[in-house]
Structure 1
């Protein structure tokens, strides 16, 4: 234990701490506002909203810490951002107890897919270009939000982007997004643009719910949520890790994501699973050139996430005080690498291009059928289109799913 602790301490440096902090800043601002806004639109009380935040951040943070220390890989835990969008739209259709039941069932589905080892086959069957097209479509609003923020507040948002670009060009020690964020916060403070509301800041205990099970809620929420956890978050995180040369424990990641979903359901949280964007940030070169030590950035991120969840009632008013234009700009800047990498993965190959395109535009459309939002339909539509007009791309198992499936099989066999 002492040896492990010393090994971890050696990996704590400006790069790992900055990358972990950056991932936490991203996760605790824009995505948190999705939950806060979704809770308000769904008619949840302040206490219920705080409980939701506690569940996904506290248990998501613990999940990342465990996996990072156990496997020495930058596997971050949080929650599904597209999943938050999905369930936010369904809150007005079902009671919170029914939603909790749907979250629990989604966790069971993910857990079964991991424990039965079928997840490897599913991950290899879903073409990466379609998954990445969906991710871009679902998250492109972070990029466009950065541009619209400049239109709304040219000085604040423009300064954030300008400092980021200058930092990329001239500053090599501190991650540019971190420099951009802190300079922007100072500018906001000077301009007195913090938007504090009459909202009490106090410690609030999370509320425990007893899930009730509704067939309609299970069909509308559980199935698409489970699919998003696997097809978006786990798929993206696994692809990112393998692209960086890691051998992620695929089945273990899936099993723990399922357990996380079941646990958070009792607090009104939609899931706690492997986080695609945060894993991408912590596994990138911003976490240091030494790939063996990048897992330390996930531990930093997990600690900050768990603290945010525990103290949500206290810190949420400060998070909501940040001008939305600043949050939108920072979120867009933080997503640049994720969006660029996803676009490259979606359209760099000649296979599944039409399916990936349909996944992209369906994800961007924001459509919703049967209370199921666009990320799910983007995956379904993309796969359907490719099966219809690109069936030959599915014929060779080594040409679909993740690249180098032999590595995937090796990772699965090591964690069986």
Structure 2
């Protein structure tokens, strides 16, 4: 008789959450800070994200008996770091609601596949690469002030990224913490254990913000998170329809956006941790790892204030370095996809360069303009090819 609780299920769920938080929580804090969030509001963001991911992981895994995990949109958070600079928090909340509404509509109407087919993969990847480039550059610019800290983390990353790919980011973080402790960079005077308190933030809506931030947030979340999330499920032999899942992530976003839940989507990397043979020889039992992941997400959400105070104790260079390391692979794969097709290369390159430039026209951010210009050039190239 099988044990009700197996350590392999529990450990897989814990590792999935650990990888998710250590690889991109720093980006969430940067995004919230860009919108001028207070300590209490950042804590509320973490509460909302943890609650949303926990509830959907548990709900999906129990409902479909498959290890279906959700996550916050890491590329979306990266987009927000630059896009939310100078944007009032109320407008940011309006953007979150708008993007979640679009995600819900895509799921409930079945538009998901149709929209993704109309957005060339190369352009979506180029826009993502342009958004993330800043983080890659920050990784190395932080070495100006803390060279030994960054060097130790880089060395750890490149030494272990092929041997222990699942754990390389947590291990790089551990090395960074050790160096920071030895050099006296950790400031734990303000650290405290406390439960997070939700803060209701009233939304406001600006057309420029909805177009310039909301649409790019929607696109990167769908193209860079939900599409790989479905692909991971299919690759492991799970065939639950994607539209209902995406609909529920949209609903979750609509409910929790006023508290800082900026975007929810299907997980890919962390989900894969719960889908391998090492979790359970029986694929039908692996859903229990998804349930455990949901439980750990709920705990992280409840103690969101503690997570906030913990990150406040860390040096900024360490946060910049771990965020950059966590996104190096995504930046590389984005550029690979963007430039792979020679016929789309000029359109993708324009999308990448405009997005990376950070230019804002008429109050609308660079990600939208990059996608728009790239889309126009792509359309002209298609027409030109059709005439030949």
Whether contact under 8 Å (2:96, 2:253) holds in the other structure is yes
8 A contact 2:186–2:315 mirrored in 1: yes
Aligned twin of 1:113: 106
Report matched runs for 1:338-377 at 5 Å. Answer: 338-377=330-369
Residue 283 (str. 1) matches residue 272 (str. 2): yes
- Equivalent position SS for 1:335: helix
TM-score by length of 1: 0.76
Aligned equivalent of 2:137, options 136, 140, 144: 144
Is 1:125 the counterpart of 2:95 in the alignment?
Answer: no
Structure 1 position 122, deviation (Å): 0.6
> Which position in structure 1 is the counterpart of 2:302?
310
The unaligned stretches of length 5 or more in structure 1 are 396-416
Distance 1:380 1:234, change over 3 A: farther
Separation of aligned partners in 2, 1:385 and 1:115: 31
Cα distance in structure 2, aligned partners of 1:117 and 1:341: 28
Give the deviation of 1:59 after TM superposition: 1.2
The whole-number CA distance in structure 2 between the counterparts of 1:199 and 1:121 is 48
Q: Quick one: which of 39, 42, 63 aligns to 1:46? A: 39
Aligned equivalents of 1:248 and 1:362: distance in 2? 37
Of 295-304 and 327-336, deviating more is: 295-304
Q: Is the 8 A contact 1:16 1:294 kept in 2?
A: no
Partner residue in 2 for 1:407? none
5 Å-filtered alignment, 1:172-251, equals 172=164, 175-196=167-188, 202-211=194-203, 218-219=210-211, 221-238=213-230, 247=239, 249-251=241-243
Residue 260 in structure 1 maps to residue 257 in structure 2:
no
1:134 corresponds to 2:131 = no
Q: 1:206 is paired with a residue of what secondary structure?
A: coil
Instruction: Please name the residue that 1:33 is paired with.
Output: 29
Q: 1:105 to 1:55 in 2, by over 3 A?
A: same
State the shift of 1:218 in Å: 4.4
Give 1:45 shift.
3.7
How many residue pairs match? The answer is 383
How much does 1:81 deviate? Answer: 4.0
Tell me: CA distance 1:367–1:289, structure 2 relative to 1, closer, same or farther (3 Å): farther
> Post-superposition shift, 1:65?
4.4
Gaps of 5+ in 2: none
Q: CA deviation at 1:84?
A: 6.3
How far apart, CA to CA, are the structure 2 residues paired with 1:64 and 1:394?
46
* 1:388–1:82 CA distance, 2 compared to 1 (3 A): same
Rate the CA distance shift 1:337–1:16 in 2: closer, same or farther, 3 A: farther
* Residue matched to 1:409: none
Deviation string 1:241-289 (CA, Å, 9 cap, x unpaired) is 667776563312321232122112332x2523116xx623543799777
Q: Which of residues 44, 49, 58 is equivalent to 1:56? A: 49
